[in-house]
Amino acid sequence: MIKKSDRAYGVNASTQTVETEMVEEGMREKRGIEKDFEVPIIIENVTPEIDGGIFAAKSVVGDPFIVEADIFRDGYSVIAASLKYRKKNEEGWQEVPMKHYENDRWRGVLIPTDNTLYLYTLEAWADHLTSWFRFMEKKCPANSNVSGDLAEGLQLIEKAETQAKGKDLKKISHFKNLLELSDGGSDEVLRIIQNEDFREAVLKYPVKDKLSSYGKELPLFVDRKRAEFGAWYEMFPRSQGKSKSKSGTFKDCIRRLPDIKKMGFDVIYLPPIHPIGTTFRKGKNNSLEADKDSPGSPWAIGNKEGGHKAVHPELGTLEDFEDFVQAAREYEMEIALDLAYQCSPDHPYVKEHPEWFYRLPDGTIRYAENPPKKYQDIYPIDFYSEDHEALWEELRSIVFFWIAKGVRIFRVDNPHTKPLRFWKWLIDTVQEKYPDVLFLAEAFTRPKVMKYLAKAGFSQSYTYFTWRNQKWDLRQYLQELTMTEIRHYFRPNFFANTPDILHEYLQKGGRPAFKVRLVLAATLSGNYGIYSGYELCENKPIKEGSEEYLNSEKYEIRVRDWNQPGNIIDYIARINRIRAENPALQKHLNLEFFQSENEQILCYGKKTPDNSNVIVVVVNLDPFRPREDLVALPIWKFGIEEWQTYQAKDLITGDKYYWKGSHNYIRLDPEVEPAHILSLKK
């Protein structure tokens, strides 16, 4: 007896030992007529398959989702394969054929239609009939009679016949009769099996009697389009009023909507809107002594007026907030809330659930501390506390609370300091009920932790973009995001600035630098954002060498003059309109870098698969000096021949250039326009 291999390694390896077990199983199963046993065809190196299928690949509704695998078997007979998929909450698989394209690599494409969790898997089988056709096409010319082989083929044709119906059945039976009447005369046989009509009919009914399944059903989470395409605008509601000494309100925020809409943003993200603690409240510029009027940091959440489910009374009421959400919706914009799981010492949780915080052996609660720095205004939550079940439930109920108020996007503060598994559980269970909810991870930490958060379910992630300001590191970073495995699950959101990050490039480079970084963020990534003040080119750090803003809005109310000279509001509006009008710019995965010699000129492009929208972006990274270069475009990929003249229209200025060939001269003066966004047309 052939026993199951003893090297069925791994205690828990039941997924994987399916391959080993098939040896035995295959031996027991009786399939087909001539042969009772066929080893399964090997299906391996499936992409995407994230960590063996525990994590979902990501896509968006309507986007072709490509699955590839190595599929092969012993010997030389022909095989066929298909990609199968279904929504997880529905029965019944749909199936699309896979095609071999090179070196035993196969590819199948499905187009998901719904914002939900899908499963996909693969199967392959021996295509005996095609094997037989190919064999006979070589054998017939070399032999006068092929009756032995014909008998074998007729058995295969009969199998197709039993499945066929209507016209196909008639055709198959007709040609089968002809073959039977041929008596194996090879000329006759060859003529019949080469009949296109016959081939088409009979191959419609593949006999999958040697079927091999991949064995795993892999998850694919299909988001709504906003997950990969959106322009974000971050603003502090309290700064939207008229006075530095009086908090703006949600009603003021509503008044701001037309301006934000005019700039072309899709998402308005608000820092925490909850009551702010008073104990150890931070003053202006993060000083330890807050004066009486200091409004405090919105991230010191909670006081006697409420916690994460309340709004700061100075901003208005919950109803006011809901009105704001509704008003934004009427402008086709969404509100994103901050999800910052931490408490001020005055948060109601501290009294009601001291067991949810870190406590020293003497029972006192420990504040956040990174010696010698102390953050006495913040109590971190102990996610591993004895009462964690109730704690986790309560934290999730905050999300459900705001969902009920109309919020569908959450920007999560510092997720990397909370358990990775907490996020997986939270996001899985929230999206199970509300698949349209999106989560953005604000994790500026080590790369593997950031990737893991994305695998665990975050729809989007903050990135290292703010610190990538040179040609080589922009290219390297974007190539990692778009060409390595993380492309399947990590979606970048390129913020050009945040309340915490004013990069030196912006501090020093002035207005041209703000335009450069805007164009890069908005055209390299489908998701990007700015924090308000960017449109005014605010660039004063608290001190030389720091990325903190001077008079940071985190600790005080800032009222701005939006018509201030030198603002780039119109420029932002133009860039966002270009994004909205050009589908090629609505994702990051179609990015390709093009060759340019000048170390300060970055050239890249994006296009739709059908070449109906071809965008080429050229940016002068040097905000101080004009730069020129010869850039090399792979025009053959755009369907343009070397001899053809084509139009390159600058969507920023409206200027039109008529080019021929792949190499073209570029000159960009940062004081005029630091970037081209070119639409190419034949």
Give kind and range of the element (H or E) at residue 679: strand 675-681
Query: For its own copies, which stretch binds (CB under 8 A), given 448-456, 552-560, 584-592, 647-655?
Result: 448-456
Residue 151 engages its own copies in binding (rule: CB under 8 A): yes
Per annotation, catalytic residue among 442, 535, 556, 629: 442
Q: Tell me which of 11, 165, 243, 330 binds its own copies, using CB under 8 A.
A: 11
What the block records as the tokens of 448 is 């593997």
Task: Assess contact for 560 and 533: CB atoms under 8 A.
Answer: yes
What the block records as the tokens of 253 is 């925020």
Query: For its own copies, which stretch binds (CB under 8 A), given 163-171, 329-337, 441-449, 518-526?
Result: 441-449
Task: Give me the least distance between CB of 112 and its own copies, in Å please.
Answer: 16
Residue 452 engages its own copies in binding (rule: CB under 8 A): yes
Q: Tell me which of 384, 472, 562, 665 binds its own copies, using CB under 8 A.
A: 384
Other beta carbons within 10 angstroms of residue 583's beta carbon come to 16
Q: Tell me which of 392, 467, 593, 624 binds its own copies, using CB under 8 A.
A: 392
Residue 480 engages its own copies in binding (rule: CB under 8 A): no
Residues within window 418-437 making contact with its own copies, judged by CB under 8 A: 418-422, 424-425, 428-429, 432
Task: Give me the least distance between CB of 339 and its own copies, in Å please.
Answer: 16
Query: For its own copies, which stretch binds (CB under 8 A), given 11-19, 297-305, 316-324, 640-648?
Result: 11-19
Task: Give me the least distance between CB of 431 and its own copies, in Å please.
Answer: 8
Strands, E assignment, 521-652: 527-531, 592-593, 595-596, 601-607, 614-620, 627-632, 645-650
- For 436: left if phi > 0, alpha if psi spans -120 to 50, otherwise beta; the answer is alpha
d(CA 32, CA 450): 50
Residue 448 engages its own copies in binding (rule: CB under 8 A): yes
Query: 30 or 292, CB closer to its own copies?
Result: 30
Q: Tell me which of 166, 258, 372, 566 binds its own copies, using CB under 8 A.
A: 372
Task: Give me the least distance between CB of 382 and its own copies, in Å please.
Answer: 8
Residue 673 engages its own copies in binding (rule: CB under 8 A): no
How many residues at the interface with its own copies, by CB under 8 A? 96
Of residues 461, 310, 308, the one with CA closest to residue 395: 308
Task: Assess contact for 492 and 463: CB atoms under 8 A.
Answer: yes
Buried b (16+ CB within 10 A) or exposed e, 536-564: bbbbebeeeeebebeebbbbbbbeeeeee
Query: 342 or 525, CB closer to its own copies?
Result: 342
The gap between the terminal CA atoms of the chain, to the nearest Å, is 69
Query: For its own copies, which stretch binds (CB under 8 A), given 141-149, 280-288, 578-586, 600-608?
Result: 141-149
Give kind and range of the element (H or E) at residue 391: helix 388-404
Per annotation, catalytic residue among 38, 123, 413, 629: 413
Tokens 């029972």 correspond to 363
What the block records as the tokens of 65 is 């989702």
Task: Give me the least distance between CB of 452 and its own copies, in Å please.
Answer: 6
Q: Tell me which of 103, 144, 243, 563 binds its own copies, using CB under 8 A.
A: 103
Query: 420 or 483, CB closer to its own copies?
Result: 420
Q: Tell me which of 91, 389, 610, 642 binds its own copies, using CB under 8 A.
A: 389
Residues within window 594-623 making contact with its own copies, judged by CB under 8 A: none
d(CA 332, CA 168): 52
**442 given a catalytic annotation:** yes
Query: For its own copies, which stretch binds (CB under 8 A), given 69-77, 474-482, 493-501, 671-679?
Result: 69-77
Residues within window 75-94 making contact with its own copies, judged by CB under 8 A: 75-76
Q: Is 305 helix (H, G, I), strand (E, B) or coil?
A: coil
- For 105: left if phi > 0, alpha if psi spans -120 to 50, otherwise beta; the answer is beta
Q: Is 100 helix (H, G, I), strand (E, B) or coil?
A: strand
Task: Give me the least distance between CB of 565 and its own copies, in Å please.
Answer: 45
Kindly tell me the sign of the dihedral angle through the C-alpha atoms of 276, 277, 278, 281: negative
Task: Assess contact for 396 and 439: CB atoms under 8 A.
Answer: no
Query: For its own copies, which stretch binds (CB under 8 A), given 2-10, 507-515, 632-640, 660-668?
Result: 2-10
Residue 654 engages its own copies in binding (rule: CB under 8 A): no
Task: Assess contact for 505 and 517: CB atoms under 8 A.
Answer: yes
d(CA 84, CA 464): 37
Task: Give me the least distance between CB of 430 and its own copies, in Å please.
Answer: 11
Question: Residue 332 phi/psi, 5° resolution?
Answer: 60, 40
Of residues 313, 334, 341, 342, the one with CA closest to residue 269: 334
Query: 152 or 314, CB closer to its own copies?
Result: 152
Task: Give me the least distance between CB of 342 and its own copies, in Å please.
Answer: 13
Residue 27 engages its own copies in binding (rule: CB under 8 A): yes
Residues within window 209-228 making contact with its own copies, judged by CB under 8 A: 215-219
Residue 327 engages its own copies in binding (rule: CB under 8 A): no
d(CA 331, CA 324): 11
d(CA 570, CA 481): 30
The alpha carbons of the chain give a radius of gyration, in whole angstroms, of 31
Please give the C-alpha separations between residue 128 and each of 142, 173, 176, in angstroms, as whole numbers. Answer: 21, 19, 16
Residue 446 engages its own copies in binding (rule: CB under 8 A): yes
Task: Assess contact for 344 and 277: CB atoms under 8 A.
Answer: yes
Query: For its own copies, which stretch binds (CB under 8 A), given 196-204, 412-420, 466-474, 523-531?
Result: 412-420
**629 given a catalytic annotation:** no
Residues within window 152-191 making contact with its own copies, judged by CB under 8 A: 152, 155
Q: Tell me which of 62, 64, 97, 141 binds its own copies, using CB under 8 A.
A: 141
Task: Assess contact for 648 and 586: CB atoms under 8 A.
Answer: no
Query: 24 or 322, CB closer to its own copies?
Result: 24
Question: Residue 441 phi/psi, 5° resolution?
Answer: -90, 115
Task: Give me the least distance between CB of 501 and its own copies, in Å please.
Answer: 20
Tokens 């019949």 correspond to 192
Q: Tell me which of 68, 123, 127, 149 binds its own copies, using CB under 8 A.
A: 149
Query: For its own copies, which stretch binds (CB under 8 A), given 136-144, 226-234, 348-356, 561-569?
Result: 136-144
Residues within window 35-64 making contact with its own copies, judged by CB under 8 A: 35-40, 42, 44, 51-54, 56
Enzyme catalytic residues? 413, 442
